Amino acid sequence: STTGIKFDVNSDKIKGESYGTLKDFAGVMSENPAVKVKIIGHTDNIGSEEDNLLLSLNRAKVVSDFLVNKGILRERISCIGKGESNPIDDNLNENGRRNNRRTEFRLSKIK
């Protein structure tokens, strides 16, 4: 399952429009204690590849911290940064870049 949590340019601050989605997701995690989540951060192609890798990881960590603050155990969450390597849209215009600045969730069962 993938859900896009949106970010501004060169920022790891979650956009206000994404808080509802995150609260809902925290609720799903609470109701399903046998599920763990990998949070994958992504960026657009503005800036250096190295900076974008760090920024994407920081985006994932900010989302992780939000979930932990909502009572989800940190052991159930892993974070990874993909930088600009996995765009879902082109980076030729602002709309495409906005879609690429995101985090995604991958759910799996706790073994």
- 12-53 pLDDT, tens digit per residue, is 999 888 999 999 999 999 999 999 999 999 999 999 999 999
- Asked if the model's pLDDT at residue 102 lies above 60, the reply is yes
Quote the pLDDT of residue 6. Answer: 87
| Residue with the two structure tokens 């920024």 | 55
Q: Please provide the average confidence, as pLDDT, over all residues in the chain.
A: 93
User: 0.85 cut: is pTM over it?
Assistant: yes
Quote the pLDDT of residue 8. Answer: 87
Quote the pLDDT of residue 2. Answer: 47
Rounded to an integer, the average pLDDT of 86-94 is: 95
Q: Which of 49, 88, 42 is nearest to 63 (CA)?
A: 42
Q: What are the angstrom distances between the C-alpha of 34 and each of 23, 29, 59, 75?
A: 19, 9, 24, 12
